[in-house]
A and B are shown apart, each in its own frame.
Chain A
Amino acid sequence: MNAWVAALGFLVFGPLLGALLAGIDRRLTARLQARQGPPLLQPVYDVLKLLEKDTLVVTPLQGLYLWLFLFFMIGAGLILFTGGDLLLSLFALTVSGIFLCLAAESTNSPYSHLGASRELMLMMAYEPMLLVAALGFYLTNDSFRVSVITEAAPWQPLQLLGILVGFLFVLTIKLRKSPFDLSTSHHGHQELVKGLTTDFSGHHLALVEIGHWYENAILLAWLYLFFAPWGPWLAIPIALILFFLEVLVDNTHARLTWSHTLKASWWVTLLLGTTNLLLLAWWVR
């Protein structure tokens, strides 16, 4: 029964939460640049507008891939929020990312292709750290199940400190923030135009946006998992603060090249993630 409520809650409130986070993000960015910024619900207005526009279809495949992107994104969230297997949720998230790349690759625009190949490179950059994070949760709880992880010992955030810092590093990639917004730039008038989404319009672009709202909710839930043993009243504010620290990073850094990104994230994974994992394995034993 509880799982059904959680699933329904994620389906309905997940995108709302994600849209609100995106709205706060845009407003915060504007304030950091001494501007007033758009209304909080601007991302919602954007999507409702996109649904009013015509959809230009370059290839029929793009619609299929984008629907699958959204499907697997929601699947990943449902597994996570119903207390299912963390590893399975992670794999569903990866599959969803792959479908977005396929959609971008199926169109004709060279900017879209560039965005897709850069996105694949970014996946190589962040995927090891996400796996290490999942393994870290397994070592502290002897289970990949989210329902078990939320009831971990209160010193879990300390046990996973290195993994947490590494996770925050790759979260910047996953949220497509500067210095790692290689695959799709926030501002379309840059050299990449819009990267991955250059050739999508109308309904198809709306699908991508809604997918990103779900993704925001999922990533916030991952952050929450680290602090879950401290109870929601402490864990949710901490997760939100860390989430908005990413906005600060976004506004204070210039974009890196893909080779720098790959090197930096693998070094972070190795030094913080794997070291933490080895220490944890030694300690647990």
Chain B
Amino acid sequence: MSFLKRSPWILHYAATSCNGCDIELLACLTPIYDLERFGIINTGNPKHADILLVTGSVNEESRRVLENLYHQMPEPKAVVAIGACALSGGIFRPAYNVYGGIDQVIPVDVYVPGCAARPEAIIDGVVQALALLDARAKAHKRRGQVSIESP
């Protein structure tokens, strides 16, 4: 078993979200849900993070930031899109400035629906991402440690 499952550190980025999903995400860290039980820490730093949690319908301004954050995260890593906007653009989908889904910009592993997504659903999404990370860590070990990613 990979130790990634025991200490996944998350990075949260609000790609032009309305803050509804962000509040639900931060609620996961409060005493009621207490994500730190599972060793999960909210790092504000892409270089320390294992899972990228993205909320909001990404637009031209946040696209560059999102790509930059994604490329700064060391392998193995996973991406979870949270909320209707992050999945498809939500009610903003017809807007001219919106990309309509995080997966238009970076590869997404787990989709968590909801407007806003409930904390239970977010935790479930992170747990699913952990299984993916575990498999990736094993494949990564087989390939050898060094992988240089081109931005």
Taking CB atoms, residues of chain A closer than 8 Å to B94 are none
Beyond A56-B74, A199-B47, is A45–B37 a contact (Cβ under 8 Å)? no
Beyond A33-B31, A35-B31, A201-B47, is A49–B3 a contact (Cβ under 8 Å)? yes
Rounded to whole Å, the gap between the CB of B91 and the closest CB of chain A is 28
Asked whether B84 is an interface residue with its Cβ less than 8 Å from the other chain, the reply is no
Question: A214–B145 Cα gap in the complex (Å)?
Answer: 27
A188 touches B34 (CB 8 A): no
Beyond A194-B48, A202-B74, A205-B48, is A42–B43 a contact (Cβ under 8 Å)? no
* Interface bracket on A: 20 to 34
Taking CB atoms, residues of chain B closer than 8 Å to A52 are 2-4, 76, 137, 140-141
Residues of A within 8 A of B (CB): 26, 30, 33-39, 42, 45-46, 48-49, 52-56, 187-190, 193-194, 197-202, 205
- List 30 A-B residue pairs with CB atoms under 8 Å apart, sorted by A's residue number: A30-B36, A33-B31, A34-B31, A35-B31, A35-B36, A38-B36, A38-B37, A45-B7, A46-B7, A49-B4, A49-B6, A49-B7, A52-B2, A52-B3, A52-B137, A53-B4, A53-B76, A54-B74, A54-B146, A55-B74, A187-B42, A187-B44, A188-B48, A189-B42, A193-B44, A194-B44, A194-B45, A194-B48, A200-B47, A201-B48
Question: Which 9 A-B pairs have CB atoms at the shortest separation, nearest pair first?
Answer: A189-B44, A188-B43, A54-B74, A188-B44, A49-B3, A201-B47, A45-B6, A48-B3, A35-B34
